[in-house]
Amino acid sequence: MRTHWCGELDRSLVGREVTLAGWVQRRRDHGGLIFIDLRDRSGLAQLVFDKGKSPFELAEELRNEYVIGVRGRVAERSPENYNPRLATGEIELAVSELKIYNRSYNPPFYIEDGLSVEESLRLRYRYLDLRRPEMMHRLRLRHRAVKMMRDYLHEDGFLEIETPMLTRSTPEGARDYLVPSRLHPGSFYALPQSPQLFKQLLMVAGAERYYQFARCFRDEDLRADRQPEFTQIDLEASFYSQERLFDLVETMMARLWEELLEIKLERPFPRLAYREAMDRFGSDKPDLRFPGELVDLTDLAEKSSFKIFQGVIKSGGVVKGWCHAGGGRLSRRELEELIDFARREGAKGLVWMVREEEGWRSPVAKFFDQGLLNEIGERAGAQPGDLLLVVADRWLVSCTVLGQLRLRLGGPREQGENRPHFLWVIDFPLFEPEPGEKGYLSNHHPFTAPLEEDMPLLETRPAEVRSQAYDLVLNGVELGSGSARIYDRDIQQRLFKVLGLSDREAEEKFGFLLEAFEYGAPPHRGIALGLDRLVTMLTGDESIRQVIAFPKTAGATCLVTGAPAAVSREQLTELKIGVKAGGRKSGQSPSKPK
């Protein structure tokens, strides 16, 4: 049905008889002469139907998006008819045979790049949206990235192993998607949030190096970078040092960027301890595309007569600042908005200071003498015309609020810098305080190994214990996260104790894993990278929906199929499931396509 792709026709084929197939991109009917741009996955080729020489009457019926096959002779155009904007613009196909495989409704939007229609329409007719070259390009790029990573992991001895989709709900983490069991009414499978436990079992099984392009499901609210189902490049390796794992991931990233974007990455990627990342950038996923770091002003603020600062410092807080270059021109109103923003982010307030040619302008200037202000300005690197923002609060609050202000004001878009800035964030705290309680929760997951040197603190000062967990960060986006796992029963039990898990509870929740670990678990570690986010970074898109063939809406519905939808009474009866009032009746869907 086809001997060549449209996009591969060139002058070397002039005179050859070829068969093409594809969709009608555009028709230009000149009366006695019809031009058709034929589109397939590879590109466009111009077809010519000449009255008298071609199947002309049939060609007159052609409309956009008709599916056709043609046979004809490749002809060089006369030079004045070259189309430099078309890859195949020096040739055309003089058609001798035309077959209309299928007709088409007029599409609801143009099948072309640079489209501006409502995204819901694109999602509703996703199969048309994907016909657009820029969308097919995204899918192709994703495919190439996946293929390269598979090849690379294979080279390093990793085995691709599938793990179950129907698994068991585990207590921690995100909300599970549940699947009712027909054979065991009242019991449910859960779709995996990640293959975490299985990949550790595979290490016990001696797989040594495992990877999987794993579908993961989390029933949480969506964002531009979050879908309820998404793909992780999930990997785990035994007897594998952190250095080796970092090198593996870095090499993989370097290959992707080099081969897909022709960008050479600087290696090794910088590493920042969590503490340092927060201190300097106010974020555990700092965006290093633009300069400007937070500074600690606690010692200087202490010398002022500003009571609020002093109070915060006395109660163990810190005073931190960030200099917004050129921010001195912000209006009073804009400054007020910044204060509101800081409050929404959790700060009690925000102090601003503008450095002028002579002295300082600030509502709190009177509490500082000139020399002190200059010292502060110097530490923050403030030039005349710059704005210094200061937050006094608990360490974490001061850092995060200023970090958010840094992102908002110093944003990379303003800087026009878009090179990839990878880094590793390491040494995360093992625990986070349980909100409102005295206890602790796992920061990563409860099998994350503590940093060896912090082990003595495990029972005494758990909040200070750091873990062997690491995040891969690119331009302010968390691309992946992993850790070394605990493989020692004693350490695991000590950790459960800190988490307030009794032996019985631990047994109940993770018994199968703990049991497996009794049969000789090797030291192992792993990481999971978000494929959708990774590809989005490669394409430069704003939303991961752009690189997913059939994504869900912000309301977690599929506009193509209308999922989720009610099911028949019979299906529910078979599962022994009753739907309470407020649920939908059979046949209803939250977003039924028209």
Where does this chain bind RNA (CB under 7 A)? 26, 28-33, 35, 37, 46, 48, 50-52, 63-64, 77, 80-83, 85-86, 89, 92, 106, 108-110, 116-121, 123, 172-175, 193-194, 196, 218, 220-226, 435, 441-445, 542-543, 545, 553-555, 557, 559, 590-591
CB nearer to RNA: pick between 121 and 308:
121
Tokens of 178: 């549940």
CB of 331 to RNA, least distance (A): 20
CB nearer to RNA: pick between 3 and 588:
588
CB nearer to RNA: pick between 15 and 268:
15
HEC per residue, 182-222 = CCCCCCEEECCCCCHHHHHHHHHCCCCEEEEEEEEECCCCC
CB nearer to RNA: pick between 366 and 592:
592
Strands 431-433 and 440-442: antiparallel
Tokens of 191: 């779709």
Element (H, E) at 393: strand 387-393
Tokens of 249: 């991931």
CB of 382 to RNA, least distance (A): 28
CB nearer to RNA: pick between 435 and 520:
435
CB nearer to RNA: pick between 224 and 463:
224
CB of 321 to RNA, least distance (A): 23
CB nearer to RNA: pick between 80 and 358:
80
CB of 469 to RNA, least distance (A): 9
CA nearest to 137, candidates 594, 553, 540, 576? 540
Distances (CA, A) of 126 to 59, 288, 551: 28, 35, 9
Q: Which residues contact 384 (CB under 8 A, 6 or more apart)?
A: 328, 355, 356, 357
CB nearer to RNA: pick between 162 and 378:
162
CB of 164 to RNA, least distance (A): 15
CB of 248 to RNA, least distance (A): 20
CB of 56 to RNA, least distance (A): 9
CA nearest to 445, candidates 192, 226, 173, 174? 173
DSSP H stretches of helix in 326-441: 332-344, 370-380, 395-409, 412-415
Locate the DSSP E strands across 401-476: 422-426, 431-433, 440-442, 469-474
CB of 216 to RNA, least distance (A): 8
